Amino acid sequence: MNKMAGSSMGEDTIGAIQEGIRNSAARMLESGEIDVFIGYEDGTLPLRTTPVFITCPEDAERLVWSPICENSLTCYLPKFQGTVGVVVKGCDVRTLVNLILENQVSRDKVKIVGVPCKGIIDRDRVGKALGTDRIIRSAKATRRSLMLEGDGFEVEMEIQDVLAPSCEVCRYPVPVLFDVLVGNESMARDGKDPEAGYLEVAQFAELEPDARFSFFAQEIERCIQCYACRQACPLCYCPECFVDRQSPKWISRWRGLSDKILFHLGRVLHVAGRCVDCGACRRACPVGIDLRLLTKNMEKAAKDLFDYESGLDIGGVPLLATYRREDPDDFIL
């Protein structure tokens, strides 16, 4: 297969990162500095990887790395008692910084294995590019391309054409905090300017308010309130989420649109000033609601109003746990 020749160098980078992850995991487990290592292994379906919890060094061989490694593994950290090693991408580690700031994870209980990230793929985009009626039997990803095989077809796609929307505008592909960085910074994609990420939000804000409302109403109408978005978000760790509370009952699951909207507004407010646009919520949504527009707008608001970017500074204070006297006041009577 000639098509694959061009990507061999890329494959090596992925291979090197994967090797690095395996070695770090094995070493940390052997020395006893961690109790468990959380990484990715191949999933049972093509184009899927799945989180894996490794406790003995020999099993480190199961760990994989590729642009299909999408889950934010930091999700699991608040639940662990012992010391954990974890693989993080640029966005993931920013959620971890927030978890540390919010006292959900203690810095000395986590060994961070950072990956200089090239971006991950978006399965919706792959589906669109491929045509939804085709069943993928096997998939192989290299640094630059994705090879898909199914009944009677063989397709190669450029990773950058099916990149997750968050990755396209990612500002910090190299983890801002780590104990070990596998590979080196030059293996990551280039960080984008914040304004690039806010373009879509700014354009949307130009629409008439009623048009904005109808857009969201139409999107959110499709929500089945499965709460997978919350489940996938590393920052949604509340032992009892407001949607599950019975008294007071904030959100009902059978009341229709208005309750769905309230859920979405509530969730967005809860991640305001914390969300790092990792995109996990959007990828988790089974009906493909564009959750990013709302969270991204809050991110922009945090920047515009308070000059705050979330998840960068382990010595900082969460946005809503502090204030400045000169914070915006002009909206108050």
Partner 1 sequence: MLDQEPKIVAFLCNWCSYAGADLAGTGRIQYPPNVRVIRVPCSGRVDPLMILKCLQRGADGVLVSGCHPGDCHYIAGNYLARRKFALLDELLDFYGIEKGRVHFSWVSAAEGEKFADVVKQVTETVKALGEPAKLVR
- Give the footprint of ligand SF4 on this chain (CB under 6 A): 95, 223-230, 232-233, 235-236, 238, 241-243, 267, 270-271, 275-281, 284-287, 289, 291, 295
* Cβ 310 vs Cβ 274: under 8 Å: yes
- Among ligand SF4, partner 1, none, the one that 28 touches (CB under a kind-dependent 5 to 8 A) is none
Rounded CA gap, 87 and 234, in Å?
Answer: 14
Output 53 or 242, the one with its CB closest to ligand SF4.
242
Name the binder of 214 from partner 1, ligand SF4, none, CB < 5-8 A by kind.
partner 1
Exactly one of 265, 287, 314, 317 binds partner 1 (CB under 8 A); that residue is 265
Q: Does 236 bind partner 1 (CB under 8 A)?
A: no
C-alpha distance from residue 160 to each of 136, 144, 207, 226, 309 (Å) = 19, 7, 29, 30, 26
CA distances from residue 102 to 78, 143, 310, 314, 322 in whole angstroms, order as listed: 10, 34, 12, 10, 13
Minimum Å gap between C-beta 56 and ligand SF4 is 31
Verify binding: residue 297, partner 1, rule CB under 8 A: yes
Q: Among 155, 176, 261, 312, which residue sits at the site for partner 1 (rule: CB under 8 A)?
A: 261
Q: Site residues for partner 1, window 199-218 (CB under 8 A)?
A: 201, 204-205, 208-216
Strand partners, 148: 139, 155
How large is the C-alpha radius of gyration of the chain?
21
- Residues with Cβ within 8 Å of 273's Cβ and at least 6 positions away in sequence, in order, are 298, 302, 306, 308, 310, 318, 319, 320
Residues that bind partner 1 (CB under 8 A): 201, 204-205, 208-216, 242, 250, 255-256, 258-259, 261-262, 265-266, 268-269, 272-273, 294, 297-298, 301-302, 305-306, 319-323, 325, 327-329, 331-333
